[in-house]
Amino acid sequence: MVQIALFAAIMAVCSWIQIPMTVPFTLQTFAVFCALGTLGGKSGTISVLVYIVLGAVGVPVFAGFSGGVGVLLGTTGGYIIGFLFTALLYWAITHFFGEKLPVMIIAMVLGLLVCYAFGTAWFMIVYTNANGAVGLIAALSWCVFPFIIPDLVKIALAILIAKRIPKRFIHRV
């Protein structure tokens, strides 16, 4: 439980490190991938869920020291909720195929794509309701394209860190 809570706290700290944009550039995804790679699918997913629940009840764990259901219902909320889908997919893939390096890479990249898809669809719906229609290419250019390379680097660093932490320090459920 301590490790799950620790990684939920790391996600919060990483969300506070941000570059403001339409969708803020943060280190949240890095923390999500570190939790999954280090704790494994089940505990990593629980850690992501704890992080989201903390934010939903108002603890300022999201980007810009924000929290509350309003953030989750806002334009960027779909990406935060998408972290849970990323974690669930990672858990499913590694459960069936193991945690070998190629499997981890594929699971994280596919999880990132799911997060992008869910978050972008959510962004388009919320943005359209508040400001008028937005096209898919515009939404992708604001919310996905600028993040692809940095997010792939985050995955690589998260896997590097996860593989370097001695297994005796991590208790997997």
Instruction: Write the DSSP symbol of residue 40.
Output: -
Residue 167 has pLDDT above 90, yes or no: no
Residue 6 lies in a domain: yes
Q: Of the ranges 5-9, 112-116, 168-172, which one carries the lowest mean pLDDT score? A: 168-172
pLDDT digits (tens, 9 = 90+) for 21-40: 766 789 999 999 999 999 99
Residue 169 has pLDDT above 80, yes or no: no
Task: Report the pLDDT value the prediction gives residue 40, as an integer from 0 to 100.
Answer: 94
Q: Tell me what percent of the chain is helix, strand and coil, each rounded to the nearest 5.
A: 75, 5, 20
Mean pLDDT, rounded, of the chain = 93
Answer yes or no: are the C-beta atoms of 44 and 36 closer than 8 Å. yes
How many domains, in total, are found in the chain?
1
Strand partners, 18: 26
Give the span between the Cα atoms of 173 and 65, in whole angstroms.
Answer: 30
Task: Report the pLDDT value the prediction gives residue 106, as an integer from 0 to 100.
Answer: 98
Strand partners, 26: 18
Residue 34 lies in a domain: yes
Residue 172 has pLDDT above 70, yes or no: no
Range of the domain at 124: 2-166
Residue 101 has pLDDT above 70, yes or no: yes
Residue 168 has pLDDT above 70, yes or no: no
Residue 30 lies in a domain: yes
Q: Hey, is 66 helix, strand or coil? A: strand
CATH of residue 138: 1.10.1760.20
Instruction: Write the DSSP symbol of residue 19.
Output: E
Higher pLDDT, 105 or 19: 105
Residue 60 lies in a domain: yes
Residue 173 lies in a domain: no
Our measurement of the distance from residue 64's CA atom to the centroid of its chain's CA atoms, rounded to an integer in Å, reads 16
Residue 172 lies in a domain: no
Residue 98 lies in a domain: yes
Residue 171 lies in a domain: no
